[in-house]
Structure formats: C-alpha cells, structure tokens
Chains A and B, each alone.
Chain A
Amino acid sequence: MSTNVMGIFQFEDEFIGALRRLKESGFDGLTAMSPIPLHEAEHILGFDKSPVRRFTLAGTLLGAAGGFALSVATALTFILPTSGRPIITIPPYLIISYEMAILFGVLFTLFGFHVVSGLPAWRDKIYRPVSNVDRFTLVVECADGENSKLAENIILESGAEEVSRVEGDR
C-alpha cells in the first residue's frame, strides 16, 4: 500500500524547487496546493493546454446550431406571415443563434471545468487550510518506505518548514 509524504513550504521558490526535484527523481504522484495559481508548478506537472477548450468549442457550435434550429422550428410551427416576407428569415435568426452559441459555450465550459478539475470533490482528501492562506503544500505518493524517505529528504533539503507522512486520498 502506498503512503503519502506531505511538505509545507513558506516560500514559493523553494516549493517550486522541491516540485522540480521530485519530478526529476521520478515521482509521478504529485499534488501541489497553493493559495494562488502558480504557472511554473502547472508547467512542471505537465499541465499544458486544457481540454476545457474542447467543451467550449463544442458548446458554442451546438448552441449556434440549436439557436438557429429553434428559430426555424418555431417559425414553421406557428406560421406568422408578415407582408409577404419569407417565413424563415435568416438575419434575425442569426442573432438568436449568436446568443445561444454564447449561452451553450458558457454552460459547456462550466461542465468542462467540473469534468477536468474533478470537482465537486466533497469527500475527504489530504488538505491543510494554510495552503489556501499563505503556505504551499506538496503531497507525494510513495510506493514504499524507501521512496518515502527519499521524498522526505528532497522536501526537507528544499526548505520545507514541515514534513509529515499522511494517510488518505491525494
């Protein structure tokens, strides 16, 4: 059974240093928590372009098509002739299409955020409230005792103010 080693840092640069060294040492089960977004940490952990963008694109396209289809369908269901003008009138329907594209783009982005970030996650996970105030927290999944020792050493050498072994979901 794997164990987790947790390190709490006061300084951002030391936290980033520890993260980089752990990654270089072959640790893959890394969770980095910080009170602000740290792009360097995201880069080290390999987060590049987010799949959220696919959700946004899909939602926008679906919304645009749906908006246009809705306008056409309502016009055909409830026919309202006006001065001999065509029943299906493109320019006004494009406005509905535009609004629906944005609406669905936003809703799908929201859905994508939840899918990609894994939230909501209300069940207990390893977390220290200080990491949402002014500390940087690192959790390393270690396969055995030897690995745990190595991780602890790296974290301590990098300048952590607290290192501990913790149980729970990372």
Chain B
Amino acid sequence: MADYIEPTYAEVNKDVLRAMMETGPKYWATLGTSITVAAVCFFIPWFYQLEVGVGAAGMNRSAVWGTYLSNFIFWIGLSHSGTLLSAVLHITNSSWRKAIYRSAEAMTLFSLITAALFVMVHLGRVWFVHWTIPVPNQMGLWPNFRSPLMFDVMAIATYLTASSIFIYMGSVPDFAAVRDASSGLRRKLYTIFSFGWRGTAREWHTLGWAYTFFAVLVIPLAVSVHSIVSWDFAMSLVPGLHHTVFAPYFVTGAIFSGTAGIVTVMFLLRKYMNFERYIREIHLVNLGKLLVLLSLIWTYINIMEVFTTWFSGSSYELEALEWRLTGFYAPMFWEMILFCAVVPLLILFKRIRTSWKSMLIISILINIGMISERFIIVATSQPRKFLPNAFGFYFPSIVEISITIGSFAVFTTLFLIFVKWVPAVSLYEVKETLKPLRRSS
C-alpha cells in the first residue's frame, strides 16, 4: 500500500462527519426501497398471519418449528460478529479493529433486533410476549426458569442491553465531535447524546476502564447467548438435535457468519460512504484469515457431528443423519458444505483475500451457507423424529419466505438509519492509529 496517504486528525473528523451529515439522493433512494421492501415483505405478511393465525406458515403437527426459528438462529448468529469481535480485539489490543468496530457493533445490535422480531412472528399471539418477563401479573403466573427458552429470554435481553450500552459508550466522544460540528436542533440533540463530553483526562481515563469492563463482560455473554440458543435444540431429545457438540457448533457458526457479515458491510461502507482511507486492505486480509480459521473449526465440528452420530449406533440418530445427507434437503446440506467449508479455503490465495470483490462474493456465499445450516437444523430434525408413523414434512409457505426476505430489508433499514445518526467509523480510535502529533517526530 505504497500509495496510501495517512489522513490528518482534522481530515478524519471531516471525512467521517461528512459521510454522516451529507445525504445524497442515492441514500434516500436506498432507504426508501429498503423501507418499502420491509413493509411489503415483512410487516404486511406478518399482519396477515396475525389476522388469519399461524396456519399461514408452513408449520404443522410434527414440524412445529420452521423458518421463523431458523431465521432467529441466523440473525442471532450474525449478531455475534460485532460486539464479540470488537471486545476480543479490544482486549487483545489489536489496532486494526479500530476502523471497523463501530459498524460491526451496529450489525450486532440490528441483527439482534431482527432476531427478536422473529421470536414475535413465531409466537403467533405476540400480544402475550410479556408473559416471558418475570413480572407480577393478575394470574399469579411466573416463568419456568428450568426451560432453555427462558434462558434465551434472559440471555438475549442481557445481550441486547449490553450491546446497546457498549456501542453507545464507545460513541460518546464522537457524539461530542458531531455536536461541535453542527448547529440548531442537531447540536442540541448531540449535546444530550454526548453527556457534555469535553475529552478531559478524567473522562478518557474513566471511559477506558469502563469500556474494558464492558468488553470483558460482553465476551462470555456472547458465548453464552449462542450456547443457550443451541440448548433450545440440544436439550430436546430429538434425533439430530440432541448433541453435546451443539453449543460450540453454534458459537463457531455464529462468529463465522458474523465475520462474513462484517466483510459484506465493510465493502458497502467503503464503496458507498467513501471510507477507502479508513477501511483498508489490512482489514480485509485480517478478516480473511479469521474466516479461514473459523471455517476450519466449523468443518471440524461438522465432521465430528457426523462421526459421533455414526459412532453412537442409535438407529434414530442414524436415520436422521441419513435423511439429512441424502433426503429432500440434501442438496441444501451439500450447498452448505460447499459454501462454508470449501469456498472459504480460496481465501488462502493472496490474490483472493486482497480483492474486495472476491471477498464480498465469498462473504455472501458463507452467509447463504449459514442460512441453509440453520434451516437444515430445524427442517430435517423435528419432522423426522423416532417412529415412521410420526414422520412429517416441512416446507416454508409463501408467507414465511416473504418474511425471511423482508428481514434483510428490516436490517438494512435500521443500518441505513444508523449511519446517519452515529459516525460509522470511530473518530478517536482511528486517530489513535495515526502517527502521533509530536514535534519530536
């Protein structure tokens, strides 16, 4: 990168705040499209389902879980990129994280919101969602904390709260920069958002400590969230789900899918918000290396899952495995293997991992593979449990397919709104990576 010219501190402020505060017609067109798709594909079908009942979905007597839950797992998984990666790289003092962590953390937040929406869609009678919250009610009803579903409620509520605080606290100094660069109502709003931040040594010192504690707390939290999601399945006795490897399998898959998601978002931010000077080849290469590592771990766990099923000798488990590898959804299984175990190996070639377009394609393929993985887990297990007379079949209905597509628009809408409210690249952390302002140097 011999042609790279390091920006000055003032240029960092100018570039990042301009991307945030100046909005062109392309942005409005994208936002408008995204909102329309979200309304048409997500919310209208959901309201239709509320009107006619969950029968609008393809779920049936033996397949009581469907696409809504597989999408829930996918979006929870995608959320693991940001906060976890940001926290781990913060603790390990990896400076390359600094330009990309803000948007990665935003991904976490919006993926979690999208995932939470799927729980509500799946519930059917969404107006009873408050029954999962441990508050006194007129029925004297309390949640059963022995159920993994209640673990989920607690874990996801905690993760959403912690991720929101994590991203907000990291943004406080940047909100002050927005306040200083704006006027009128925006200035008033950002004065409130920034808490009156001045960048005093005491403020930096306290933020540094608090931020490190947030990071330390968030890492085990993120690991626990997807472990708990995996227990929703693994703690049932259903063949194909009742595996001890599920927790690490889900966590690895989540980080894998989330890291691929970061590459996709990085490409878009770089291209459409003109962050070429901040999101650079080093980020691509490092994330590429991480993807290869995660792909190898994920592949190993998949092999182990097949091996332990075969080794168990249980006829129910073997039948479930055979259906997964050779049944109706087998093409999807092998597509998943191709996209998540084989394609990422291309990143080993330098030409591939240094090419933005190749990495974009690979990152999208990985996430297609991960959606398939989540779907296969749900669709090939419950409808085929134990005795053949109880076997059923699950295929998503048009409402489910539409809501699945619409969820991407919901996520995109939230992200597009975010980039106009919060600097998508952390100003002060990027400045820290630049050459220090010293007369002696």
Enumerate chain B residues within 8 angstroms of A35, measured Cβ to Cβ: 9, 199, 427-428, 431
Enumerate chain B residues within 8 angstroms of A2, measured Cβ to Cβ: none
Interface string of A47-81 (1 = CB under 8 A from B): 10110110010001000000100110011011010
Whether B437 sits at the interface, judged by CB under 8 Å, is yes
B-side interface residues, number (CB < 8 Å): 65
* CB-CB under 8 A for A96 and B199, given A53-B209, A112-B210: no
List residues 61-110 of chain B with CB under 8 A from any CB of chain A: none
Whether A98 pairs with B224 at a CB distance below 8 angstroms is: yes
Q: For chains A and B in complex, what number of residue pairs have CB atoms within 8 angstroms?
A: 194
Q: Chain A's nearest CB lies how many Å from the CB of B306?
A: 29
Whether A8 sits at the interface, judged by CB under 8 Å, is no
Could you say which of A13, A41, A50 contacts B439, with CB atoms under 8 Å apart? A13
Whether A127 sits at the interface, judged by CB under 8 Å, is yes
Q: Chain B's nearest CB lies how many Å from the CB of A71?
A: 4
The answer for the CA separation of A47 and B204 in the assembled complex, in Å, is: 10
Q: Which residues of A contact B (CB under 8 A)?
A: 10-14, 31-38, 41-42, 45, 47, 49-50, 52-53, 56, 60, 67, 70-71, 74-75, 77-78, 80, 82, 89, 92-93, 95-96, 98-100, 102-103, 105-107, 109-110, 112-114, 116-123, 125, 127, 129, 131-134, 136, 159
The answer for the CA separation of A164 and B181 in the assembled complex, in Å, is: 23
Enumerate chain A residues within 8 angstroms of B207, measured Cβ to Cβ: 37, 113, 117
Whether A45 pairs with B201 at a CB distance below 8 angstroms is: yes
Whether B13 sits at the interface, judged by CB under 8 Å, is yes
Whether B221 sits at the interface, judged by CB under 8 Å, is yes
Can you name the residue of chain B whose Cβ is closest to the Cβ of A103?
B158
Q: Report 22 cross-chain contacts, Cβ distance below 8 Å, ordered by A residue.
A: A11-B438, A35-B199, A36-B431, A36-B432, A38-B201, A45-B202, A47-B202, A70-B134, A74-B134, A74-B142, A74-B144, A75-B144, A92-B145, A95-B154, A95-B228, A102-B162, A102-B220, A112-B210, A121-B198, A133-B13, A134-B8, A134-B9
Could you say which of B197, B201, B437 contacts A10, with CB atoms under 8 Å apart? B437
Can you name the residue of chain B whose Cβ is closest to the Cβ of A139?
B200
